[in-house]
């Protein structure tokens, strides 16, 4: 089955750190760019970070730049998000999402999403 | 940063009727615009990319149109499973990739 499964969410105090993981299965993970997108409770979608298939290109939203680090391990079919200096406003469900590719072309939108993992930053 | 603005915030439509959702970009995104559907407690689902191309498995009652700064998602005959929140998303000029704030489609 083609799927993404996130893990690692939880309750963290402000200033703390956490690492999210996303396990991919059912497709050739190493050929796809991957992203993290988050959704604060009751709010809309916010793009967080992207990484190219071979990790050669990485991008971040300004809101997380310098605090979050995206990475991947293609041998383990896994995507990661290391989150440091966490703030209350980082509280959200974090989704990993696959870039959509069709007919040899890829588009920076997302056709496969995980179920999400909830991060709560609170004292 | 390109700001995406969706209207209306909430749309009330009866089953079987047509729904029209709008999305405006603060600057041209060409046709690099996608629509996603999200139901409560679920991850989003890609409906449309390239402004008007349905993603794999998406029913023909969903159609997208527009280019530049003005886009529309039309659902021709609403089914019960279509009541959800819809987000537009631009990927023409990034980072950052940006989403609209969403339109909630509810049963009238």
Average pLDDT on A4-13 reads: 98
- In chain A, what percentage of residues exceed pLDDT 70? 100
pLDDT score at B1: 96
Pairwise CA distance, residues A16 & A26, whole Å: 34
Cβ B89–A109 below 8 Å, yes or no? yes
Q: Is the pLDDT at A104 greater than 90, yes or no?
A: no
pLDDT score at A107: 87
Q: What is chain B's pLDDT, residue by residue, as a tens digit (108 residues)?
A: 999 999 999 999 999 999 999 999 999 999 999 999 999 999 999 999 999 999 999 999 999 999 999 999 999 999 999 999 999 999 999 999 999 999 999 998
Contacts of A108 in chain B (CB under 8 A): 32, 91, 94, 97
């Amino acid at each position: 089955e083609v799927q993404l499964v996130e893990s690692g969410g939880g309750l963290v105090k402000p200033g703390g750190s956490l690492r999210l993981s996303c396990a991919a299965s059912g497709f050739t993970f190493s050929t796809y760019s991957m992203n993290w997108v988050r959704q604060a409770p009751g709010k809309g979608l916010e793009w967080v970070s992207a990484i190219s298939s071979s990790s050669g290109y990485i991008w971040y939203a300004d809101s997380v730049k310098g605090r979050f680090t995206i990475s991947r391990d293609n041998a383990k079919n896994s995507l990661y998000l290391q989150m440091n200096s966490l703030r209350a406003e980082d509280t959200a469900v974090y989704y990993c999402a696959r870039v959509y590719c069709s007919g040899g072309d890829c588009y920076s939108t997302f056709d496969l999403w995980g179920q999400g993992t909830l991060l709560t930053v609170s004292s | 940063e390109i700001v995406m603005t969706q209207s209306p915030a909430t749309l009330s439509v009866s089953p079987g009727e047509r729904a029209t959702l709008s999305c405006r970009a603060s600057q041209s995104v060409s046709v690099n615009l996608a629509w996603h559907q999200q139901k409560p407690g679920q991850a989003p689902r890609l409906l449309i990319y390239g402004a008007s191309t349905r993603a794999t498995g998406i029913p023909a009652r969903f159609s997208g149109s527009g280019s530049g700064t003005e886009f529309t998602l039309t659902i021709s005959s609403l089914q019960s499973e279509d009541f959800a929140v819809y987000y537009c998303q631009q990927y023409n000029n990034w980072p950052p990739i940006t989403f609209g704030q969403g339109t909630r489609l509810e049963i009238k």
